[in-house]
Amino acid sequence: MSSKICVSIGRGRHKHMIAEHRHLVEQGASLVELRLDFIRRAVNLKRLIADRPCPTIVTVRRSQDGGRWEDREDARQILLRSAIADGVDYVDLEMDIAGSIPRFGKTKRIVSYHNFQETPENLEDLHRQMTELDPDIVKLATMAHHPQDNLRMLNLIQSSGVPTVGMCMGEIGTPSRILCGRYGAPFTYATFHHERALAPGQLSYRQMTQVYDFEQITNDTKLFGVVADPVAHSLSPLIHNAAFQHLGMDCRYLPFRVPREDLTDFVQRQCGELGVRGLSVTIPHKEAVLPLLTDAAPAVREVRACNTIVFDDPNRNGFNTDYSAAISSILAVLGESDDALKDRDALVLGAGGAASAIARALVDRGARVKITNRTSARAQQLAEQLSCRWIEWDDRHSFVDGILVNATPIGMHPNVDEAPFKAKVLDRKTIVFDTVYNPEQTLLIKEARAHGCRTITGVDMFVRQAAMQFKLFTGQEAPADVMRSAIHRAIGAAQIAS
Ligand code: NAP
């Protein structure tokens, strides 16, 4: 039986709660939690549940469990008993009160435990105690500080004799919310809107259905993901999942927030246990994963950074698609042969990970590369590694003709009025390549175009590097246009929201 999505509704007014409940059912929701602790006036329970359009959980959460109930405890328990007497489908009873509220009628009992501090050592003990409180369903929601908390939670769900909904909270816990159904949880929780999460790390109903297609995840679903810290801003889950859906592939791509100290265990052990077959790797882990690879493509060894791992048990093969995507973006504009870069001048702004991959790719194709960076020492260091030249940041406008690459975040949203370079000093034959992809039309790109230069945008590179990862992960050609549309939609939506 497939797992469902329970959408939590927390609104201050009855009429808004009822309207959201109806709206959700129209959108396809089949289970809803009404968080009565959000109602600001006296709760009119009958009004909320009499004509409920789908099975409903009634929850009245105390502040100590992350809720908003501030009235007396006996009033709260009377409300819960009334919900049972009125025959609501489910009632949520915290484990310390579950023993004092008896089963009655058809109402199913969710016995719950919340811990906003940690995923405690005695999680398994707590779960056993909860199973002794006459539950139909046990619910555990604990804060994750380490990705292994997710695995503990998921393994607990799988081994439980009583249906268990287990989720880790916080950004680190997001994979447990997406995967709990695969481990046997009868449902997961989502929020009505992504900006109104009722618990940390909660995804919206829309994200759960449209990005992750939660209800269709099974044991056969192949898993991929991006490992980063933080990860919530990453657009990679959107574009990879859009590509999987477009091709009808039973695959999902998840966001894994992994702190530096947990990276080794995550890559070497947890990915195997979870069944993750491929990872995108991004800030701050691109270098730190190098010792964890069993094999590395030449670009990884040259750039000393890896942005893609393919798991082929027992091997962990590393690739650098930033390197290949940068070159293919430039060659697409030059429209010329493989040696089109030979003896061309290039100036790379920045000396971080992206600069290093792009500069290396340019040097390898015979371009005459100069590096410049706000911190001169880093420019000098990278130039030494690549056997190329560097110039002071203040001298960058001495460059007039060739390929100009911005590999700094200057011009990135919200600082859209900034540009790292005055395009008007450039010769019109210059190609301007801005790696910033949000927005796509940066000030640098706009000014360069207005000046008559050819341009390459960060979206172009981003889609190419993701499409190359997709091919490495699945062996199939990626639907690059679908990925491009997904990123355009996401960038547009982010700008409208802010
Ligand atoms: P990184 O390793 O942190 O390096 C950042 C670089 O930008 C450093 O050289 C830093 O100089 C410089 N920088 C930062 N803020 C600056 C400022 N206000 N003024 C001048 N220089 C500044 O980051 P990264 O991974 O290389 O990423 C850099 C950019 O590339 C980001 O905008 C990212 O979005 C983009 N990128 C795009 C793609 C794509 O597919 N389109 C892929 C990867 C990265 P210091 O050394 O002085 O700190």
What's the pLDDT tens digit per position in 104-133? 999 999 999 999 999 999 999 999 999 999
Q: How far is Cα of residue 60 from the mean position of the Cα atoms in its chain?
A: 30
Q: Are 262 and 146 in contact (CB under 8 A)?
A: yes
353 CB-side CA count, 13 A: 16
Q: How far apart are CA 213 and CA 328, in angstroms?
A: 32
Angle 482-176-143 from CA coordinates, rounded to 5°: 125
Centre of ligand 1 from the C-alpha of residue 146, in Å: 27
Centre a 10 Å sphere on the Cβ of residue 245 and count the other Cβ atoms it contains.
Answer: 17
Catalytic residue status for 96: no
* Residue 246: exposure state from Cβ atoms within 10 A (0-12, 13-18, ≥19): middle
Q: What is the mean pLDDT of residues 234-248?
A: 97
pLDDT of residue 173: 98
Q: How far apart are CA 38 and CA 5, in angstroms?
A: 21
**Lowest-pLDDT range of 56-65, 293-302, 337-346, 479-488:** 337-346
For residue 435, the CA-to-ligand 1 centroid distance in Å is 9
Question: Using CA atoms, how far apart are residues 10 and 5, in angstroms rounded to an integer?
Answer: 16
What is the residue with the minimal CA distance to atom 11 of ligand 1?
Answer: 374
Nearest CA to ligand 1 atom 28: 408
What is the per-residue pLDDT across 164-199, written as a single tens digit (0 to 9) for each?
999 999 999 999 999 999 999 999 999 988 666 677
Q: Please, are residues 224 and 251 in contact by the beta-carbon 8 Å criterion?
A: yes
Q: What is the per-residue pLDDT for 493?
A: 64
Where do we find the tokens 């056993």?
128
Nearest CA to ligand 1 atom 40: 462
**Residues whose beta carbon lies within 6 Å of some atom of ligand 1:** 283, 322, 350-355, 373-375, 378, 407-410, 412, 435-437, 458, 461-462, 465
Is 322 annotated as catalytic?
A: yes
Q: What average pLDDT does the chain have?
A: 95
**What are the tens digits of pLDDT across the range 79-94?**
999 999 999 999 999 9
How far from 392 is each of 208, 373, 386, 389, 420, CA to CA, in Å? 48, 7, 17, 11, 14
DSSP state of 447: H
Minimal-distance CA residue to ligand 1 atom 12: 408
Please give the number of the atom of ligand 1 that sits closest to the Cα of 375.
47
Cα separation, 98 vs 417, in Å, equals: 57
Residue 429 pLDDT exceeds 50: yes
Higher-pLDDT residue of 2 and 250 is: 250
- Ligand 1, atom 20: closest residue by C-alpha: 374
What's the gap in Å between 406 CA and the centre of ligand 1?
8
Q: Give per-residue pLDDT as tens, 391-416.
A: 999 999 999 999 999 999 999 989 99
Determine the distance separating the centroid of ligand 1 and the alpha carbon of 496, expressed in angstroms: 24
Cα-to-centroid distance, 455 and ligand 1 (Å): 19
From first CA to last CA, the distance across the chain in angstroms is: 40
Edge-to-edge strand ranges of the sheet holding 315-319 = 251-257, 222-228, 276-281, 308-312, 315-319, 295-296
Q: How many CA atoms lie within 13 A of 255 on its CB side?
A: 26
Torsion of CA 300, 304, 309, 311, to 10 degrees: 80
Structural element, H or E, at residue 278? strand 276-281
SS3 call for 298: helix
Q: Can you give the pLDDT at residue 2?
A: 84
Give the distance (Å) from ligand 1 centre to CA of residue 432.
16
CB 48 within 8 A of CB 86: no
pLDDT bin (cut points 50, 70, 90) of residue 1 is: low
* Predicted pLDDT of residue 422: 97
Pairing relation of β-strands 308-312 and 315-319? antiparallel
Q: What angle do CA 305, 311, 315 make, to 5 degrees?
A: 85
Residue to mutate, 408, 457, 487, ligand 1, most ligand atoms under 8 Å from C-beta: 408
> What's the CATH fold of domain 335-456?
Rossmann fold (3.40.50)
Which residue out of 14, 21, 114, 127 is catalytically annotated?
114
Closest atom of ligand 1 to CA, residue 354: 26
Spatial neighbors of 16 by CB under 8 A, at least 6 apart, are: none
For the chain, the residue count is: 498
Q: Does the fold of domain 237-319+463-497 match that of domain 4-219?
A: no
pLDDT of residue 482: 98
Q: What are phi and psi of 142, to 5 degrees?
A: -130, 155
495: pLDDT strictly greater than 70: no
Active site residue 446: no
Return the CATH superfamily for domain 4-219.
Answer: Aldolase class I (3.20.20.70)
CA-to-CA separations, 287 to 92, 143, 270, in angstroms, rounded:
46, 28, 19
Choose one of 236, 283, 374 to mutate for the ligand 1 pocket test, by most ligand atoms within 8 angstroms of C-beta. 374
Residue of 154, 148, 175, 119 whose CA lies nearest to 265? 148
Tens of pLDDT, residue by residue over 149-158, are 999 999 999 9
Distance 457 CA to ligand 1 centre (A): 15
Q: Residue 494 above 70 pLDDT?
A: no
Sorted by where each begins, the domain ranges of the chain are: 4-219, 237-319+463-497, 335-456
Cis peptide before 284 (omega within 30 of 0): yes
- Lookup result for tokens 């909660």: 202
| Cis before 414 (ω within 30) | yes
Closest-lying ligand 1 atom to the alpha carbon of residue 465:
40
Inter-residue contact 268 to 292 (CB < 8 Å)? yes
Could you identify the atom of ligand 1 that is nearest to the CA of residue 460?
A: 41
Q: In a 10 Å sphere around its CB, with 0-12 CB exposed, 13-18 middle and 19+ buried, how is residue 184 labelled?
A: middle
Residue 451 has pLDDT above 80, yes or no: yes
Ligand 1 closest atom vs CA 378:
46
Would you tell me the crossing angle of helices 236-246 and 480-497 to the nearest 10 degrees? 140
Query: Ligand 1 center to residue 408 CA distance, Å?
Result: 3
What is the band of 217 on the pLDDT scale with cuts at 50, 70, 90? Answer: very high
286, 370, 434, 460: which one is catalytic?
Answer: 286
Nearest Cα residue to atom 7 of ligand 1 = 408
Q: Which atom of ligand 1 is nearest to the CA of 409?
A: 32
SS3 of 349, please? strand
The CATH number of 237-319+463-497 is 3.40.50.10860
Q: 337 pLDDT exceeds 80?
A: no
Sorted by sequence, the CB contacts under 8 Å of residue 376 that are 6+ apart come out as 390, 392, 393
Contacts of 394 (CB under 8 A, 6+ apart): none
Q: Residue 347 corresponds to which tokens in the numbers above?
A: 């100036």
- Write out the two tokens for 314: 């027992």
Q: Whose CA is nearest to atom 18 of ligand 1?
A: 410
Beta partners for residue 280, in sequence order: 226, 308
136 is known as an active-site residue: no
